[in-house]
Structure 1
Amino acid sequence: MLSDRKMLGVLAVAVLGILIALAQPFAPGLSPLGHYVMGTVIAGLGMWIFRPGALPFMSGTAIILGITLALFFAFKATLVFPGKVPFKAPPQIYGVVMGGFTSSAVWVLIPALYFGFVLQKTGLGKRIAYLVLKTFPATWLGLAISWLVIGVALSALTPSITVRVAIVVPIAIGIVEACKLEYRSKGSAYICLLAWGMALFPGTGWLTGSLSGPIMQGFFPPEIKHLCNFDDWFKILALPWFVVTIVYVVLAYILARPKEAIAISSDMFKEEYKKLGPMSKDEIISVIILVGSLLMFFTEKQHGIPTAATALFALFLFVMFRIITGPEISSGINWDVVCFFGIAVALPPIFAVSGISAWFGPLIKGPIMAMAGSPMLFMLVITAGLLLIRFIDVPWGFTTAALTIIMLIPLFNDFGYHPLAVTMAYLIAINFFLLSYQQPFILMGEGMIQGRGWAPAHVTLFGLIYIAAAFISLLVAVPYWKMLGVIR
């Protein structure tokens, strides 16, 4: 039955895309090419959202790539290349449509996904988790602090939220069972959703701490792409996301913890850590490579080696030391996600060259720019607006990203907003959840523990806690950004 509904969803979205392409309701403002590209992307988006029969992302990717390439060659005389550079087909067309796969963001993403694979394969991720858990007292507060430390530590070592969720959520449900708590109870939800949240939120504060960093780096228009670097991302966004993380933990402790004491002792964590035995050679090598990579990321401005080069060299070292073997190159990461990421990064230039951005931009710029003179009001309103859009823009938030990208250049040129400050609204929206369907990592966590961790009401409660934490962070961030001079 669920599969049938998903298939109906794909067909409904495909029909919408076809209608837009053929009926061209936005003419004359949007060209025929723009309508065809918009219809194609909508049809591919339907496959990404509903995925009937676990349809791979490659299905939507292939449709968008194939049809967009054909359209661009058919309409090459009307393409709008930025800067009015001389038209040279086919290299320019391939450069636009396939540009996501040559973006530096993709070549940060691929090694970074292998970092997560290494954490799981060597057992290093589990070792770090139990090392922290045995260090703090076995109380509701101690557990919250432990998850916070674990989340920061794992975020420093891999941007893959999938890997972090895969490490912490099974440990969390194990703690629930050790405490003899009922599944989906208040205590179970507190343990599991805190662990899940710490796998998601802390790493958003630096470029390589979550996949949002490489995604936005790839989405940034060429003229401002240099502003999306590791140093600026950390300087502008680390404090706001530290506030989000701390407030989420504090409010969860106040509002969501059980009244009765936790029925577990630190001895259990010490025993689990002892079962892991001494660190293996592979774990030691992995720690050295991962920590070395992190230090190189943080000091990029000093040594000048780009993040992608550092990440690729780290991948080379993992292969050279045979921590990643030949067969694992193909099986160690999800290449379907990499292909999905490549076309997602290419969507902004595709929209620009097909004329969609030029048509759509003025529709939203007027109302948005009217508020830009008041940074606090502006950030609060656009964040609230993007959160509302996320009720229908699921699961990956492409509309949210597109709206954010359209705002970046005029806000930077006309009002002095650093693009990464504006990006905060997108990041809050992409991590948003009130219902399970809005957040793919909630669905992933539920699947890993067969729905035993929390009930829908708990997701809503923790979602409200997250929203409160996000808006509190904006109240701190805007004065901080003014002090830094990134908002004039």
Structure 2
Amino acid sequence: MTGSSSGAGPARAARDGSGRWWTAMRWAVPVLAGLALYLLPQPEGVKPGGWAVLAVFVATVLGLILQPMPLGAVALTGLTVIMVTGILEPAVALSGFAEPTIWLIVAAFFISVAFTKTGLGRRIALLFVAVLGRRSLGLAYGVALTDLVLAPATPSNTARSGGVVYPIIASLSEQAGSRPHDGTRRRLGAYLTITAISVNTITSAMFATAMAANPLAQKFAGELGIEISWLDWAVAASVPGLLALAVIPALLYRIYPPQLRDTPDAPAQARARLAEAGPMSREEKIMAGVFVLLLLLWSLGSQLWGLPATVSAFVGVTVLLVTGVLTWGDLERERSAWTTLTWFAVLVMMAGQLQKLGVIGWFSQTITGATGGMRWEAAFVLLTVVYFVSHYAFASNTAHVAAMYGAFLTAAVATGAPPVMSALVLGFIGSLYGGLTHYASGPAPVLFGGGYVTLAEWWRLGAVVAVANVAVWMAAGAAWFKILGAW
């Protein structure tokens, strides 16, 4: 026993030493990267404080990747640094917590709790299993088709993904014995989650009304004399979009497969459980009514009654509270919602300040100026790739489109690229990069907050899907645009 103990001591010490070294590195990399960037000369055109915000933003993003502390703690640290150093006034630094999109995400988490608590999510999941449940791949295509059907009438991709798709995924995973934190996440939940964000970026790109930033891109294009109607957008996106929806779930099934693949008995079991469940309960009926109400409000509320998507979401949450379907305790216990509120609000604030303080404008001018003298084909490919990759610095599709779409479209047209094609492709990209990171778009933190996919997996798979999407949309899109006469 003495020998065993003496051998375990050095081994444990080595493990502890290695752990301390890795912890130190996870702190050192963000801090040193932020300091190094801060010490570089501030470019002309960047307003005072802009370069410092960029330094803290980069350090915070690296901290979120390496996680020397939990996500919320890392974000609060970055927020504190910005306030203590006087880079931004507290009122400005805390403004991200007043961002409506952030609270839409929080409300989506609460709605998903009601889906699970009432059992309606389980009932919907069983219906999916009964129809498509013989294989996990079939369930993934069911998620894709659900998103596609809802997309044209749901301008908020966050509401669509967080309020509709995510609860179904959670219930399907639970039914399959796949949970986030007990070692079973890869059984089914992880695959469905990463598929959901990937297909959401595709469906968001397919219709001008499927994502909030798409009408903004239409507006910017119109200001340059390039008119794109709703039908123009849908027709142009139809072929590459449908092809991408067919390819991406199968690609993820191959490179990130669920442990549970074939479930031949699942449909019969699902039908049996539906029979055992019997008629819908009062709570399920209320939840179903709220669900339909939310779809109506998200689809038509802003046009008919001037209700933003966030207000509509809180209408649904309030109805659930008043009717007793949810309690305040349910909301308090939803830790993922409050954690997501913290880190996403900080990132959205920083990204907004980078735009206001001229950092994004400087970046756009630098990149677009590099295309001088190139053939339009090569210049256009370069611009689209740079525009896509630059989304790593953004926590919002809308912010990215608002900051850079006009500049990149202007540069593309200046190189000789066909105007309509340029406007459409850059418009599509404004949705397609929404799955690059766990903060890249509104749906991303909702799905990431479910806990099924790790941070490293999300970033790796986000890059792989991005490459696949660019290949499909560039190749199929170019051929389809040629048929349509767009170039």
- Aligned-partner SS, 2:370: helix
Contact 1:44/1:64 (CA < 8 Å) preserved in 2?
no
Encode CA deviations 1:369-408: one digit per residue, 9 max, x unaligned: 878966xx77754554567678xx5xx8659998765421
Distance change (3 Å), C-alpha of 1:147 and 1:226: same
* Gap runs ≥5 in structure 1: 74-92, 175-182, 434-438, 451-455
Structure 1 residue 422 and structure 2 residue 426: aligned?
A: yes
Identical columns (%): 18
Contact 1:140/1:257 (CA < 8 Å) preserved in 2?
no
Give the aligned partner of residue 295 of structure 2: 294
Contact 1:34/1:355 (CA < 8 Å) preserved in 2?
yes
Paired AA for residue 346 in structure 2: I
Give the aligned partner of residue 471 of structure 1: 471
Return the match for 1:118 from 114, 119, 126.
114
The Cα shift of 1:134 comes to 0.8
Count of residue pairs the alignment pairs up: 423
Return the match for 1:18 from 18, 35, 46.
35
CA distance in 2, matches of 1:331, 1:372: 57
Q: Pairwise CA RMSD of aligned residues?
A: 5.2
Distance change (3 Å), C-alpha of 1:43 and 1:146: closer
TM-score (norm 2): 0.66
Give the aligned partner of residue 272 of structure 2: 271
Return the match for 2:366 from 363, 368, 392.
363
Paired AA for residue 105 in structure 2: L
Distance change (3 Å), C-alpha of 1:440 and 1:299: closer
Contact 2:170/2:189 (CA < 8 Å) preserved in 1?
no
Give the aligned partner of residue 199 of structure 2: 202
Encode CA deviations 1:83-132: one digit per residue, 9 max, x unaligned: xxxxxxxxxx83x5444333332343332232222222222222212112
- Aligned-partner SS, 2:161: coil
Deviates most, 130-139 or 379-388:
379-388
Contact 1:125/1:154 (CA < 8 Å) preserved in 2?
no
CA distance in 1, matches of 2:114, 2:350: 31
- Aligned-partner SS, 2:131: coil
Return the match for 1:341 from 328, 339, 344.
344
Encode CA deviations 1:177-222: one digit per residue, 9 max, x unaligned: xxxxxx99xxx98x76763444323333249x9xx957x69xx89x
Encode CA deviations 1:13-50: one digit per residue, 9 max, x unaligned: 212212333x3334566566333222222232233222
The Cα shift of 1:147 comes to 5.0
Structure 1 residue 51 and structure 2 residue 67: aligned?
A: yes
Distance change (3 Å), C-alpha of 1:356 and 1:195: closer
CA distance in 2, matches of 1:329, 1:233: 41
- Write out aligned runs for 1:250-265 (5 A): 262=262, 264-265=264-265
The Cα shift of 1:256 comes to 9.9
CA distance in 1, matches of 2:424, 2:255: 32
Give the aligned partner of residue 409 of structure 1: 406
Give the aligned partner of residue 88 of structure 1: none
Paired AA for residue 9 in structure 1: R
Paired AA for residue 122 in structure 2: K
- Write out aligned runs for 1:365-444 (5 A): 365-367=368-370, 381-382=382-383, 384-385=385-386, 393=392, 406-411=403-408, 415=413, 422-432=426-436
* Gap runs ≥5 in structure 2: 1-17, 179-183, 224-228, 414-418, 438-443
Paired AA for residue 340 in structure 1: W
Return the match for 2:324 from 319, 322, 333.
322
Contact 2:136/2:262 (CA < 8 Å) preserved in 1?
yes
Paired AA for residue 113 in structure 2: F
- Write out aligned runs for 1:126-145 (5 A): 126-136=122-132, 138=134, 145=141
Give the aligned partner of residue 33 of structure 1: 49
